[in-house]
């Protein structure tokens, strides 16, 4: 089952449920947020609530996406209560890359901090159920004001050195009234970053991640496939200039999803009732690693069969501000 949100002609939201190629509006539901909050509050499965409410008007979701009427699949009434976060160095990559990585780890006496973190994940990222494993790298991207809908531009700041895609899976969560994190499902995400800034010095990683991000168009409700195989590509002037498969899911990761979720939600800050979390789980495929320099107007496209419609976003760059620096006013 897949969930998405569309805008009606009067500007209000409607929730769309899709099974196979059939998609229809969910009756009596103002937003995905309302649906998720009811499920979290009552501890009822989302599927049960959907079956109870029933389906209304059928819709052509690909056409609505082309018209720009498909929005983020979940939003919060107060964007400041949606958190965009993620983890890195969690994926093993292909089998050949994994073998090469293990050989390098075994034969090297001096490792970079990134390699050390990766090795920690290999050794302690898959603990027995109910037992915390090693914590991963963690980063903050922003709140709901930096979440960009499908089809909308991912805009790099005027001071950015680069605007590059990172195809990822994101867990979509809502916090129940008693503080319990509840997972609504999974979505494709573009964890848009500044890789040139990050390359200068790894301690600038936080700066490189404070960028917009996109996710959707649809949320996969239910279990995540262990082996997710997708494709990431960049289109320029109508032609594909770069394309590469990506792997995700626990079969291709050094951490379990449960361990990554634990190390995010162990903080009281991230268990505030009613908050929404979009937590991205890392990637192993980047066009930047293949020497691609993106340009405004390029279109990022990420797709993987279980997640419905592809996620597409054009690249844009913000104009330079009139002042060279941000001046703080003293009160």
**The whole model's pTM is what?**
0.93
Q: Does residue 250 surpass a pLDDT of 60?
A: yes
Query: At residue 307, what are phi and psi to the nearest 5 degrees?
Result: -105, 15
- CA gap 189, 63 in Å, rounded: 21
Contact present, 235 and 299 (Cβ < 8 Å): yes
Listed in order, strand segments (DSSP E) in the chain are 2-7, 13-19, 22-26, 55-58, 82-88, 137-143, 147-148, 154-156, 167-175, 181-190, 213-215, 219-220, 228-236, 239-248, 276-280, 299-304, 311-317
Structure confidence at residue 106 (pLDDT): 56
Write the DSSP symbol of residue 165.
-
Q: What is the mean pLDDT of the chain?
A: 93
- CA gap 307, 299 in Å, rounded: 19
Give me the mean pLDDT over the 174-188 stretch: 98
- CA gap 300, 44 in Å, rounded: 37
Q: Does residue 109 surpass a pLDDT of 80?
A: no
Structure confidence at residue 61 (pLDDT): 97
Query: At residue 291, what are phi and psi to the nearest 5 degrees?
Result: 80, 15
């Amino acid at each position: 089952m897949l969930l998405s949100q569309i805008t009606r002609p009067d500007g209000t939201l409607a929730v769309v449920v899709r099974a196979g190629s059939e998609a229809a509006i969910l009756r009596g539901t103002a937003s995905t947020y309302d649906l998720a909050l009811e499920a979290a509050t009552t501890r009822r499965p989302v599927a049960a609530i959907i079956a109870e409410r029933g389906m209304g008007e059928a819709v052509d979701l690909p056409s609505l996406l082309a018209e720009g009427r498909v929005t983020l699949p979940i939003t919060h009434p107060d964007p400041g209560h949606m958190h965009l976060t993620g983890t890195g160095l969690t994926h093993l990559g292909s089998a050949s890359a994994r073998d090469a990585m293990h050989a390098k780890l075994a034969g090297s006496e001096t490792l970079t901090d990134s390699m050390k973190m990766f090795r920690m994940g290999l050794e302690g990222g898959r603990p027995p159920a109910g037992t915390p494993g090693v914590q991963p790298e963690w980063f903050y991207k922003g709140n709901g004001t930096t979440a960009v809908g499908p089809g909308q531009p991912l805009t790099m700041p005027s001071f950015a050195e680069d605007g590059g895609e990172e195809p990822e899976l994101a867990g979509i969560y809502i916090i129940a009234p008693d503080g319990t994190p509840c997972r609504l499902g999974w979505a494709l995400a573009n964890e848009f970053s500044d890789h040139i800034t990050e390359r200068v010095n790894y301690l600038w990683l936080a700066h490189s991640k404070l960028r917009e991000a996109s996710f959707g168009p649809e949320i996969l409700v239910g279990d995540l496939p262990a082996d997710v195989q997708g494709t990431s590509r960049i289109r320029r002037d109508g032609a594909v200039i770069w394309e590469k498969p990506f792997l995700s899911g626990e079969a291709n990761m050094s951490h379990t999803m449960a361990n990554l979720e634990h190390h995010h939600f162990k903080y009281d800050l991230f268990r505030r009732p009613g908050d929404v979390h979009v937590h991205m789980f890392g990637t192993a495929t980047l066009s930047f690693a293949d020497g691609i320099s993106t340009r405004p107007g390029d279109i990022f496209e990420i797709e993987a069969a279980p997640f419905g419609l592809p996620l597409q976003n054009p690249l844009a760059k913000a104009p330079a501000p009139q002042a060279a620096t941000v001046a703080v006013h003293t009160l």
